[in-house]
């Protein structure tokens, strides 16, 4: 009885040790991963801020104005003017769809020379 | 353990036989036994003391060793700390009201030298002078060969420059990382943004501090890591600002003006959509303030906020609105305008003779100094002061620029009767264009006081009422008439019902008196007149219009066309659709008899 108890205890200790060992290494591995990810995030963030700065630089109004002037022949861009505002009732309704031919007889007609 | 009897029979019998007291034997044995016990106890106690001593020694050694390692090891952040709260940037971005970037950070490098570890100093100095044309080779060499162990060469390097310096290959030329402030739009909104520079500097990093404008005013906010990189959102609109600056620049050049300023403000919230001052500068490369000369001539000077000028006839509407508000006059009341109006040794004249009498409305439309002075006489000094104070003309503007508190309006030292009369038409009191814009917004938006701000506001706070909505509407009507058939006819922008007032003030001569041929021309306007949304103030410094026979300097010929062009270009950008106006009442004349 006593020897079984000793054996079980010994096995339990070994099992616990194995578990603790594994946990330790797993934790360290995830810490390393988190650190790598954090470094990646910060480098991406830096890249993003550079890109945003570049985007803002390339979209600066002076440059866009010059580009619009240079490409006027192709794009025809002019400054927005009050005349370009329209009203909803100035917009034409879409044309009525052409009715489907339901009966061939409908299409029969006589072609007469126009006066 | 065998226990020794205290009274061994043999010895007791022996002792009895010898006639001795056997009790002595017992005592002797007892003594021996006690000594024995004492020795054993001492030994055990000493053993325990030793164990405890060893234990404490080990414990203290452990604590000491841990302290030693902590003290001597490199500092390290706890690796398992929860992420996410990391510092994103040293300084937050500044954006316009739609989130477009006005100021951001860029990582770059600084260049410094450690002469003791440099190898070929002459070559390094020669190559550096080639890369940076502003550096002097002989001076560099002098610094390298002198006693100095460390010197900064450049605060900011572009990547190309860094590579070029790297290619010199001298181990004594070293780079340190730097975060620099970048204004991608260049000169745009330069006076609002101000600029930034380095504060405390180290090799590995440097503090970026704001030195002017909102960068300085919001320095603490921008540097606060608690904001988590949240940008500072200004009320400016990048596209509108760009157009305003472009039009203003064109107008300034066309009219040979020395400087110009424009403010576009939301009439209800006080948000400044655009604030321009010309000449301007590039905040990426902000020059130090000029050591000599008039600081107001420097490009760094913000004419819209820092410049206090006599704003001329634009003030007349304040006088008239107050008179209407107090019920002294209405728009049709007839005012005596026989000129010149003499007051002591002063004479008040009109630009032109407008006849012996005008209605209050015509006083505004034709811009009669005499008429306004007469109305001011009805109001009186104290009430005039009170009203101008309620519109904010007594204090610096509360706008969030570090320069703003320094721009205190210039009030007459003694507010006499004649001061009252001249101030009624805008002379004798100097205020900044921003004061004027705030006053117009407060007066014409329905009569609610607005506070100018450069930060985008969420929701409208109601200010104190300044005048009644009715007075505000009457004032707008009068200003509208000034545009349709008064002094500002060039200001009529089809579809936007501009209402406004011109102001032409002679510039004061530093030697005393006023210049004859130098004026400040101002046009303060609100549009659309029936539902006021925006207030625009355009000020030109020393403009002159030379297309006619003789040079024209009045605001109607200078500031007004510029303002009209600004409105024509800017209103569609702000999504303001032109309204179909009713035909103006030209040809319908009121019978007057």
Q: Give the lowest-confidence range in A83-97, B416-430, B484-498.
A: A83-97
Residue written as tokens 């540097």?
B223
Three-state SS for B236? coil
- Write the residue in B79, B184, B242 that is nearest to A57 by C-beta: B184
Inform me whether the C-beta atom of residue A62 falls under 8 Å from chain B C-beta atoms: yes
Which chain A residue shows the shortest CA-CA distance from B100? A56
Which pLDDT score, from 0 to 100, does residue B494 have? 84
Measured between alpha carbons, how far is B25 from B22 in angstroms, rounded to an integer?
5
Residue A26 lies in a domain: yes
Q: Which residues of B touch A28 (CB under 8 A)?
A: none
Q: Do A57 and B572 touch (CB under 8 A)?
A: no
Does B582 score more than 70 pLDDT?
no
Write down the mean pLDDT value for chain B. Answer: 86
Residue written as tokens 């007791």?
B12
Which pLDDT score, from 0 to 100, does residue B82 have? 53
In this structure, what token pair is assigned to residue B292? 């000599």
Measured between alpha carbons, how far is B319 from B386 in angstroms, rounded to an integer?
12
Residue A29 lies in a domain: yes
Does B447 score more than 70 pLDDT?
yes
In this structure, what token pair is assigned to residue B7? 């009274």
Three-state SS for B586? coil
The domains of chain B are located at 96-232, 239-573
Neighbouring CB atoms inside 10 A of B282's CB total 15
Does A111 score more than 90 pLDDT?
no
Which pLDDT score, from 0 to 100, does residue A104 have? 57
Which pLDDT score, from 0 to 100, does residue B168 have? 87
Does A101 score more than 70 pLDDT?
no
Q: Does the model's pTM come out above 0.80? A: no
Measured between alpha carbons, how far is B254 from B557 in angstroms, rounded to an integer?
12
Could you write out the DSSP letters of every residue in B30-98?
HHHHHHHHHHHHHHHHHHHHHHHHHHHHHHHHHHHHHHHHHHHSPP---TTS--S-----SS--EE-TT
Does B310 score more than 80 pLDDT?
yes
Residues of chain B with a CB closer than 8 angstroms to some CB in chain A: 79-80, 83, 86, 88-89, 100-101, 104-107, 182, 184-186, 188, 238-239, 242-243, 246, 493-496, 568-569, 571-573, 577-578
Non-local CB neighbours of B525 within 8 Å, separated by 6+ positions: B440, B479, B483, B488, B491, B498, B499, B500, B501, B535, B536, B537, B563, B567
HSE toward the beta carbon, residue B37, CA cutoff 13 A? 8
Distance from CA of B566 to the nearest CA of A (A): 11
What kind and span of H or E run contains A67? helix A61-70
Residue A92 lies in a domain: no
Measured between alpha carbons, how far is B271 from B248 in angstroms, rounded to an integer?
20
Mean pLDDT of B17-43: 91
Does B588 score more than 70 pLDDT?
no
What confidence category does residue A109 fall into, taking pLDDT thresholds of 50, 70 and 90? low
Does B463 score more than 60 pLDDT?
yes
- Write the residue in B104, B186, B494 that is nearest to A60 by C-beta: B186
Measured between alpha carbons, how far is B182 from A53 in angstroms, rounded to an integer?
8
Residue A6 lies in a domain: yes
Measured between alpha carbons, how far is B496 from B569 in angstroms, rounded to an integer?
11
- Write the residue in A31, A81, A82 that is nearest to B79 by C-beta: A31
Q: Return the bridge partners of B524, or none.
A: B501, B537
What confidence category does residue B47 fall into, taking pLDDT thresholds of 50, 70 and 90? very high
Which pLDDT score, from 0 to 100, does residue B63 have? 97
Measured between alpha carbons, how far is B168 from B552 in angstroms, rounded to an integer?
61
Q: Which residues of A touch B106 (CB under 8 A)?
A: 49-50, 53
Residue written as tokens 């009209």?
B564
What confidence category does residue A71 fall into, taking pLDDT thresholds of 50, 70 and 90? very high
Burial B413-447 (b: 16+ CB within 10 A, else e): eebeebbbbbbbbbbbbbbbbbbbbbbbbbbbbbb
* Cβ proximity of B292 and B421 under 8 Å: no
Residues above pLDDT 70, as percent of chain B: 95
* Cβ proximity of B309 and B393 under 8 Å: no
- Write the residue in B184, B495, B578 that is nearest to A56 by C-beta: B184
* Cβ proximity of B465 and B448 under 8 Å: yes
Burial B146-162 (b: 16+ CB within 10 A, else e): eeeeeeebbbbbeeebb
- Write the residue in B80, B238, B572 that is nearest to A81 by C-beta: B572
Backbone phi, psi, residue B560, to 5°: -65, -50
Measured between alpha carbons, how far is B428 from B420 in angstroms, rounded to an integer?
9
Q: Is A114 exposed, middle or buried (0-12, 13-18, 19+ CB in 10 A)?
A: exposed
Q: Do B494 and A59 touch (CB under 8 A)?
A: no
Q: Return the bridge partners of B94, or none.
A: B103, B232
Cα B22 to Cα A10, A87, B5, B26, B239, distances in angstroms = 62, 139, 13, 7, 125
* Cβ proximity of B501 and B524 under 8 Å: yes
Does B586 score more than 60 pLDDT?
no
Higher pLDDT, B346 or B111: B111
Measured between alpha carbons, how far is B582 from A85 in angstroms, rounded to an integer?
18
CATH of domain B239-573: 3.40.710.10
Distance from CA of A80 to the nearest CA of B (A): 6
Q: Do A62 and B186 touch (CB under 8 A)?
A: yes
Q: Do A50 and B107 touch (CB under 8 A)?
A: yes
In this structure, what token pair is assigned to residue A89? 């009732």
User: Residues B554, B516, B256, CA angle at the centre, nearest 5°?
Assistant: 55
Does B332 score more than 80 pLDDT?
yes
Backbone phi, psi, residue B430, to 5°: -105, 130
Measured between alpha carbons, how far is B508 from B59 in angstroms, rounded to an integer?
85
Q: Which residues of B touch A79 (CB under 8 A)?
A: 243, 569
Range of the domain at A36: 2-78
Report H helices in B117-188.
121-131, 137-145, 159-168
Distance from CA of A39 to the nearest CA of B (A): 11
Distance from CA of A81 to the nearest CA of B (A): 6
Which pLDDT score, from 0 to 100, does residue B436 have? 92
Cα B478 to Cα A56, B359, B386, B475, distances in angstroms = 43, 11, 23, 5
Distance from CA of A91 to the nearest CA of B (A): 16
Which amino acids of B are annotated catalytic?
313
Q: Do B572 and A31 touch (CB under 8 A)?
A: no
* Torsion from C-alpha of B294, B295, B301, B302, nearest 10 degrees: -80
* Cβ proximity of B528 and B574 under 8 Å: no
* ipTM entry: 0.73
Which pLDDT score, from 0 to 100, does residue A10 have? 96
Does B85 score more than 50 pLDDT?
no
Inform me whether the C-beta atom of residue A49 falls under 8 Å from chain B C-beta atoms: yes
B239-573 matches B96-232 in CATH topology: no
| CATH class of the domain whose range is B96-232 | alpha beta
Q: Which residues of B touch A26 (CB under 8 A)?
A: none
Q: Do B182 and A35 touch (CB under 8 A)?
A: no
Does B1 score more than 70 pLDDT?
no
Residue A96 lies in a domain: no
Residues above pLDDT 90, as percent of chain B: 26
User: B78, B106, B494: which to substitute to probe chain A, counting the most A Cβ within 10 Å?
Assistant: B106
Q: Do B239 and A85 touch (CB under 8 A)?
A: no
Which pLDDT score, from 0 to 100, does residue B87 have? 54
User: Residues B105, B110, B112, CA angle at the centre, nearest 5°?
Assistant: 165
Mean pLDDT of B547-573: 88
Residue A61 lies in a domain: yes
Measured between alpha carbons, how far is B38 from B222 in angstroms, rounded to an integer?
78
Residue A35 lies in a domain: yes
* Cβ proximity of B567 and B490 under 8 Å: no
Q: Which residues of B touch A53 (CB under 8 A)?
A: 101, 104-106, 182, 184
Backbone phi, psi, residue B452, to 5°: -70, 140
Residue A101 lies in a domain: no
Q: Return the bridge partners of B536, or none.
A: B264, B525
Cα B473 to Cα A28, B47, B83, B321, distances in angstroms = 73, 103, 57, 10
Does B488 score more than 80 pLDDT?
yes
Inform me whether the C-beta atom of residue A42 falls under 8 Å from chain B C-beta atoms: yes
What confidence category does residue B562 fall into, taking pLDDT thresholds of 50, 70 and 90? very high
Cα B523 to Cα B101, B314, B334, B420, distances in angstroms = 31, 7, 26, 22
- B251-277 pLDDT, tens per residue? 999 998 999 999 999 999 889 999 999
Q: Which of B22, B538, B582 is closest to B304 using CA atoms?
A: B538
- Write the residue in B105, B185, B186 that is nearest to A49 by C-beta: B105
Q: Which residues of B touch A35 (CB under 8 A)?
A: 79
Residues 12-41, chain A, touching B (beta carbon < 8 A): 27, 31, 34-35, 38
Inform me whether the C-beta atom of residue A60 falls under 8 Å from chain B C-beta atoms: yes
Question: In chain A, how many domains are there?
Answer: 1
What confidence category does residue B591 fall into, taking pLDDT thresholds of 50, 70 and 90? low
Does B584 score more than 60 pLDDT?
no
Q: Do A61 and B88 touch (CB under 8 A)?
A: no
Does B501 score more than 80 pLDDT?
yes
Measured between alpha carbons, how far is B431 from B440 in angstroms, rounded to an integer?
13
Q: Do B101 and A80 touch (CB under 8 A)?
A: no
Report H helices in B205-237.
213-217, 219-223
Could you write out the DSSP letters of every residue in B257-314?
-SEEEEEEEETTT-BEEEEEEES---GGGPPPPPSSS-GGGSTT--TTTT--EE-GGG
In this structure, what token pair is assigned to residue B568? 């024509």
């Amino acid at each position: 009885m006593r020897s079984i108890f000793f054996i079980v205890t010994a096995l339990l200790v070994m099992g616990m040790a194995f578990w603790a060992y594994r946990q330790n290494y797993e934790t360290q591995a995830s810490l390393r991963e988190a650190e790598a990810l954090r470094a990646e995030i910060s480098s991406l963030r830096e890249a993003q801020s550079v890109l945003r700065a570049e985007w803002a630089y390339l979209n600066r109004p002076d440059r866009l104005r010059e580009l619009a002037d240079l490409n006027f022949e192709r794009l025809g861009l002019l400054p927005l003017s009050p005349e370009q505002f329209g009203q909803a009732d100035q917009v034409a309704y879409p044309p009525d769809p052409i009715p489907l031919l339901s009966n061939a007889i409908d299409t029969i007609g006589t072609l007469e020379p126009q006066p | 353990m065998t226990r020794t009897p205290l009274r061994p029979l043999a010895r007791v019998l022996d002792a009895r036989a010898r006639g001795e007291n056997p009790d002595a034997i017992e005592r002797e044995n007892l003594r021996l036994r006690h000594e024995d016990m004492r020795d054993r106890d001492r030994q055990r106690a000493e053993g325990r003391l030793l164990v405890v001593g060893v234990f404490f020694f080990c414990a203290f050694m452990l604590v000491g060793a841990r302290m030693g390692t902590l003290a001597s090891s490199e500092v390290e952040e706890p690796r398992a700390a929860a992420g996410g709260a990391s510092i994103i940037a040293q300084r937050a971005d500044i954006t316009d009201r739609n989130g477009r970037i006005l100021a951001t950070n860029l990582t770059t490098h600084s260049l410094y030298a450690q002469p003791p570890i440099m190898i070929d100093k002459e070559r390094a100095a020669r190559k550096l002078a080639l890369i940076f044309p502003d550096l002097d080779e002989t001076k560099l060499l002098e610094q390298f060969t002198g006693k100095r162990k460390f010197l900064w060469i450049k605060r900011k390097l572009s990547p190309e420059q860094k590579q070029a310096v790297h290619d010199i290959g001298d181990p004594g030329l070293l780079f340190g990382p730097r975060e620099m402030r970048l204004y991608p739009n260049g000169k745009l909104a330069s006076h609002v943004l101000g600029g930034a520079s380095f504060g405390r500097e180290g090799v590995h990093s440097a503090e970026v501090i704001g030195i002017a404008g909102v960068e300085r005013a919001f320095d603490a906010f921008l540097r606060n890591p608690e904001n988590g990189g949240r940008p500072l959102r200004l009320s400016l609109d990048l596209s509108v600002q760009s157009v305003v600056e472009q039009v203003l620049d064109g107008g300034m050049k066309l009219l040979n003006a020395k400087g110009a300023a424009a403010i576009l403000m939301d009439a209800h919230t006080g948000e400044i959509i655009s604030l321009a001052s010309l000449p301007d500068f590039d905040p990426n490369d902000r020059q130090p303030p000029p050591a000599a000369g008039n600081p107001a001539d420097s490009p760094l000077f913000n004419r819209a906020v820092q410049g206090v000028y006599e704003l001329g006839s634009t003030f007349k509407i304040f006088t008239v609105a107050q008179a209407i508000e107090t019920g002294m006059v209405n728009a049709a009341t007839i005012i005596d305008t026989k000129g010149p109006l003499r007051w002591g040794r002063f004479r008040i004249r009109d630009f032109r003779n407008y006849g012996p009498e005008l209605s209050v409305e015509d006083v505004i439309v034709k811009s009669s100094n005499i008429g306004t002075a007469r109305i001011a006489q009805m109001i009186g000094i104290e009430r005039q002061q009170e009203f101008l104070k309620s519109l904010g003309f007594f204090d610096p503007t509360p706008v969030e620029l570090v320069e703003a508190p320094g721009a205190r309006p210039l009030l007459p030292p003694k507010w006499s009767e004649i001061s009252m009369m001249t101030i009624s038409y805008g002379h004798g009191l100097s205020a900044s264009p921003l004061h004027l814009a705030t006053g117009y917004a407060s007066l014409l938006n329905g009569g609610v006081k607005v506070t100018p701000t450069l930060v985008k506001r969420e929701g409208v706070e109601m200010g104190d009422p300044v005048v009644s909505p009715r007075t505000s509407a009457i004032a707008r009507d009068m200003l509208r008439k000034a545009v349709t058939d008064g002094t500002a006819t060039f200001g009529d922008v089809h579809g936007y019902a501009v209402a406004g007032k011109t102001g032409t003030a002679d510039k004061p001569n530093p030697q005393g008196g006023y210049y004859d041929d130098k004026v400040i021309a101002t046009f303060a306007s609100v549009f659309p007149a029936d539902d006021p949304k925006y207030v625009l103030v355009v000020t030109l410094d020393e403009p002159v219009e030379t297309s006619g026979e003789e040079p024209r300097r009045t605001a109607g010929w200078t500031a007004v066309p510029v303002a009209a062009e600004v409105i024509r270009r800017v209103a569609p950008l702000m999504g303001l659709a032109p309204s179909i106006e009713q035909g103006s009442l030209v040809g319908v004349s009121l019978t007057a008899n």
